[in-house]
Amino acid sequence: MKPYNEFLSEKFVSNKPSGFMVDMDTLNPNLKDWQALLVRWALYKGKSALFEGTGLGKTIQQLAWADAIYKHTGKNVIGYAPLAVSHQTVREGSKFGIVVNRCDTQADVRPGINITNYERIDKFDHDSFAGVFLDESGRIKNDTASFRNAVINYYGRTPYRLCCSATPSPNDYTELGNTAEFLGVSTMAEMKAMYFINDSGKTTAPWRLKGHVKDNRFWEWLATWCVMIQKPSDIGYDDTGYILPKLVYHEHIIKFTGEIDTLFVEHAEGLREVEESMKETLDDRCNMIADMVNGSDETWAVWCHRNPEGELLSKLINESVEVSGQTPDDLKVKHILDFADDKVKCLITKPKIGMFGLNLQNCCNVIVTGLSYSFEALYQLVRRFYRYGQTRQVNVHIVIGEREGHVLATIKRKEKQMEIMFDSMARHMSNATISELKHTKRSQTVYDPKIEMELPTFLVEAA
């Protein structure tokens, strides 16, 4: 009988390289050494993911990757990103000497690198591209199942694929499973069967790593197709230039003024009660926020969750623009880019519109009015400003009603859990990732004959 460790080793599935090798000196000269190493590894792998902390330069990496594929194959590459991010990517490309064509349909495609927004993914001839990259690839987790399946099916035959996103939450394996399936590494079902267990037997219940894989095996498998880093030192490089200034949270609690039947104000527990609290404190919250912004000469961003908040805030705050779901796409892009260029003093919008992918280090004053239970939403919207390249202390003002204290406590608990899990993830993956990156050579089977071949008699006689 085989030892158990040997049995597990035989079941370990790695991602075989399907790309090509390049000399790092031939890549875009604006890449830092560690960025060039990641791009070379992604090109060698052919299908891979780069999960990096916000501000580590995923844009130039994915564009350098796409540029190398176009030069290698002579065929076009397409990228998908959130609406405003796709326009910002064109501007970023020009800074790095890389031409990026913004397109809406297949008729707009030009030779080289093309980019569009996710909402237009069905407007293209998907088989005409040699490579595809997904910017903010967590979209395939956060959107509908039909959208996820469409993205995976559209590019199931594309030779080169790259997913780029901020480091996913370590306790949410959905994004990892969807990414692995898009890249053709494994299906979600295969990943779960190999590495996870569901104690309750319900598909909607949380999955956890099996005991025999949680220490190393799962992380080693991840390192064969993705890189997860929070800072350059995670892969052995110097962090100079990547030390962030302080991030300070300020809590502003609007007192509950309604009638109460108990000694203390009871916290809103469910979503309906939280919604009621937001309605009750709408005027007070918006007036407090307007006073903060109007009394300052600096740039501000205000994130709200409901339309009445955005409408009232836009009336109360001087020199502000609101970007809502009803704002036409061309104006959404204009307002957001104008804000990034310091042409607008205050941007008012919702997390679901602008929390992914944007680079807004020009602003260091952030207000969040009302909270959802989603820590990811808060993390992402804060990271539009608190990211590498930010030189000033970032102040995040959370304005909520007194009854919403339970939501804030839940968010703080999730934040602590995330910090612990990121540290654990870095420890588990560091050695395997460094080994993968620094030993990118083609896998090949060496022919080493051990048995002398004897020709059949009739062949010998014929000779």
Q: Say what the pTM is.
A: 0.77
Distance CA 318, CA 295 (A): 10
Distance CA 157, CA 106 (A): 18
Fold of 12-241: Rossmann fold (3.40.50)
Distance CA 141, CA 165 (A): 12
Low-confidence ranges of the chain (pLDDT < 50): 4-5, 7-12, 261-265, 441-448
Q: pLDDT tens digits for 228-245?
A: 888 898 888 998 888 888
Q: Do domains 12-241 and 247-415 have the same CATH topology?
A: yes
pLDDT of residue 66: 97
pLDDT of residue 277: 65
**Domain ranges in the chain?**
12-241, 247-415
Distance CA 58, CA 359 (A): 11
pLDDT of residue 25: 92
Specify which residues 254 forms β-bridges with: 401
How many other β-carbons are positioned within 10 Å of the β-carbon of residue 345?
19
pLDDT of residue 447: 42
pLDDT of residue 169: 61
Distance CA 314, CA 346 (A): 9
The answer to whether the CB of 79 falls within 8 A of the CB of 132 is yes
pLDDT of residue 15: 62
pLDDT of residue 48: 95
pLDDT of residue 154: 95
Helix (H) or strand (E) holding 289: helix 282-294
Helix (H) or strand (E) holding 179: helix 174-183
Strands 196-197 and 160-165: unpaired
pLDDT of residue 265: 47
- Give domain 247-415's CATH number out of 3.30.1280.10, 3.40.50.300, 3.40.640.10, 3.40.50.920: 3.40.50.300
Distance CA 335, CA 322 (A): 8
Q: Which of 239, 250, 329 is nearest to 289 (CA)?
A: 250
